[in-house]
Amino acid sequence: MIAKNPSEYQGEVEGGVPAPLIERARFAPGDIVRHRMFDFRGVVFDVDPVFSNSEEWYQAIPEAIRPAKEQPYYHLLAENEESSYIAYVSQQNLVADAEHGPVDHPQIDAMFDGIEKGRYRIRSIHRH
């Protein structure tokens, strides 16, 4: 689908073809989020403005639920009932979840310096 409203474009790519507007990141490092469809939550520790993982990883997602690449993707210190792990999740599949308290991931203390007002404070050594 091609957007007809000029405000839906962020600029032009080679050859004068309009580039679709890329959604701004809704979450930042330190935010607590949960997955919309799967039972896990986590803390954002990095953000990619668009998909930046392998094509093999992307193609492994069932086509019926495969998210668009042209949106922010988040690196999470994630947890579910059974384990803690690192997750890579599209923006469309995340919602804020600070109201359910802290995340219990073994790497939290290495990257964050406590929690304040529902957000983890990034350790100064990890700030850009």
Question: Which domains are delineated in the chain?
Answer: 26-126 (2.30.30.390)
- Beta strand 112-116 with 32-35: parallel, antiparallel or unpaired? unpaired
Closest CA to 28 of 49, 47, 48: 47
Looking at residues 12-38, what average pLDDT do you find?
79
**Which of 15-19, 24-28, 56-60, 118-122 comes out lowest in average pLDDT?**
15-19
| Whether the Cβ atoms of residue 47 and residue 75 lie closer than 8 Å to each other | yes
pLDDT above 50: residue 117: yes
In this predicted structure, what is the pLDDT of residue 20? 57
pLDDT tens digit string along 70-93?
999 999 999 999 999 999 999 999
| Whether the Cβ atoms of residue 21 and residue 28 lie closer than 8 Å to each other | no
> Quick one: tokens of 123?
């350790």
Q: Which residue matches tokens 């998909």?
A: 51
In this predicted structure, what is the pLDDT of residue 15? 52
Please give the Cα distance from 99 to 52 (Å, whole number).
29
Strand-pair partners of 33: 42, 96
> Quick one: tokens of 26?
């809704």
**φ/ψ (deg, to 5) at 36:** -65, -35
